[in-house]
Amino acid sequence: MTEVFNCPTNTKRSNQAAKSVLKSIDRLTS
């Protein structure tokens, strides 16, 4: 798990995925 977090490319992917999830949640809640 630490290796994945240490990789900058993987963190970028995870950040984008988290943002997309947050956007979808905002659409559902609003």
pLDDT digits (tens, 9 = 90+) for 1-30: 456 556 667 678 888 888 998 999 899 887
Query: In the prediction, which pLDDT does 1 show?
Result: 47
Query: In the prediction, which pLDDT does 24 show?
Result: 92
Find the helix or strand (DSSP H, E) in which 29 lies: helix 8-29
Give the tokens for residue 24. 């979808």
Range of the domain at 30: 1-30
> Which of these, 18, 11, 13, 16, lies nearest to 3 by C-alpha position?
11
- Look at the chain and report how many structural domains it folds into: 1
What counts of helices (H) and strands (E) characterise the chain?
A: 2, 0
Q: What does pTM read for this prediction?
A: 0.52
Question: What are the strands, taking DSSP E only, across 1-30?
Answer: none
Distance CA 1, CA 10 (A): 11
